[in-house]
Amino acid sequence: MARGGGNLDHFRSAFGRYAAEAVFWAPAALLPGGHVRWDPIDDATARVTLSFGEFDQSVDLSVETDGSLNKVVFQRWSDTNATKTFQRQPFGGNLSKNVEFDGHRLPTHIDAGNFFGTDEYFPFYKVNVTSIRFPKSNGDGRN
């Protein structure tokens, strides 16, 4: 359970979470356009940056040689730290155990948390996916 809202810190944090979760759950929201920019980092990593009003959030995505997503990292606006002060701090996770579901190769194991890539990293978000079901179209363009 979380409580907060109505202030700039909460909005900035929520926008960062939206950007990162779009990578996992709504990749169509990341198609290049007026508010979405993609930049290469290296042979295995790309950065997507989303903009909305005064907010910008970048998320780095790393892939295996077969194109499977294996790591997501971003600087999250959060007060989940020793001083309880809002600041940008690393958040991210490792994705593994890729399985094909209806022609889509997706990770079935995710560990993620604050201070990703540091000695303070604690993966509090752990997921093991056992099945994925995609909505089927009824032929009229609606699901």
pLDDT for 1: 38
Q: Identify the CA nearest to 47 among candidates 29, 66, 30.
A: 30
> pTM of the prediction?
0.83
Reported as half-sphere exposure (CB side, CA atoms, 13 A), residue 102 has a value of: 6
Tell me 115's DSSP state.
Answer: T
Helices (H) and strands (E) in the chain, counts: 1, 7
Helical (H) or strand (E) element with 1: none
pLDDT for 3: 57
Averaged pLDDT for residues 117-137: 90
Torsion, Cα 106 71 34 5, to 10 degrees, reads 100
pLDDT in tens, 9-38: 999 999 988 898 888 777 778 999 889 999
pLDDT for 23: 83
Percentage of the chain beyond pLDDT 90 is 60
Partners of 110 in the β-ladder: 95, 127
Distance CA 114, CA 103 (A): 32
Q: What is the C-alpha R_g of the chain?
A: 16
Distance CA 133, CA 108 (A): 13
Confidence tier at 123 by pLDDT (50, 70, 90): very high
